[in-house]
Amino acid sequence: MTTSKQVVPVVIIGKGTIGKLFGKVIEETTRNEYVVNYITRADSAEERSDKLKNAAIIMLAVKPKDLDGVLDEEVKEYAQERATICSFVAGVDSSAYAQKLGESARLVRVMPNTTTEVELGFASITRTLGAEPEDVQSIKEVLSSATTLVDLEESKVDEFTAVAGCAPAYFLRFAKVLQSAAEDLGIGAEDATTFVANTMIGVGLMVQGSPDEHKSIEQLINEVASEGGATEKAIQSLDSSDFNAVIKNAITSAYQHLKS
């Protein structure tokens, strides 16, 4: 006689981009081992309580400005019980949670990026306050099918977020410029989109490398930018505009915002 595996109840507070993204990931990749419920502003107090009281994992996917209210109104009552709290909220460290939930709250911070949607995400995971290693493991089991999780000290989470968490937008902003330039040169919009998408995917695979050969990013650039060629001229133009500094300044701006 076989015993069916117990279904783990997960409650996601917030149904914005990150909340919907991870809800979808959990539902589609965990083979029905987890059941997902959302809490939104439309839920009554009774509905919220019913969902939370049975939750094994409570995921916080709200904006930083809304976090205090959510902790006071939604989570505080359940933080000392069996639920593991998983926060996706950027720029709020564990001290803020400790004030609301107490030092014993089982808090795990995860800083993801949106490429999780295509199961190529990259995220940091940090054990804080009263969380135990098994709490971290439970979150890894939920998310690891769609994102690579890197254990990180909390002191480095904001730096990670400014680089990796924001990275999809940096790449997409550059992709938007390439797409627009292609259209300006007479390439149709659909073809321009395909060219940009295929190039981003292809370059990613090249950077990743094959099992028997790995090239540095600098090597890959040099293979395209042959001496005296058009690509070399384009790279020189980027250098003259201090392209590197522009990108690094953007990352610094993101980091300073997270720390403010």
Is the CB of residue 131 less than 8 Å from the CB of residue 102?
no
> Residue written as tokens 């410029």?
177
Q: Which CATH number fits domain 8-152: 2.30.130.10, 3.40.50.300, 3.30.1330.10, 3.40.50.720?
A: 3.40.50.720
The CATH H-level (homologous superfamily) assignment of domain 167-259 is: ProC C-terminal domain-like (1.10.3730.10)
Residues 172, 102: Cα–Cα separation, whole Å: 40
In 14-105, DSSP assigns E strands to: 34-39, 57-60, 84-87
- Domain 8-152 identical in fold to domain 167-259: no
Phi-psi group of 40: left, alpha or beta (phi > 0 → left; psi -120 to 50 → alpha; rest → beta): beta
Q: Cα 85 to chain center, whole Å?
A: 17
Q: How far apart are CA 232 and CA 17, in angstroms?
A: 39
For the chain, the structural domain boundaries read 8-152, 167-259
The DSSP secondary-structure symbol of 153 reads -
To the question of pTM greater than 0.85 for the whole model, the response is yes
Q: Average the pLDDT over each of 56-60, 76-80, 244-248, 250-254 and give the range with the smallest value.
A: 76-80
Q: What is the pLDDT of residues 100-158, one digit of tens each?
A: 999 999 999 999 999 988 889 999 999 999 999 999 999 998 898 889 999 999 999 99
pLDDT tens, residue by residue, 169-198 = 999 999 999 999 999 999 999 999 999 999
Q: Which two tokens stand for residue 101?
A: 């939930």
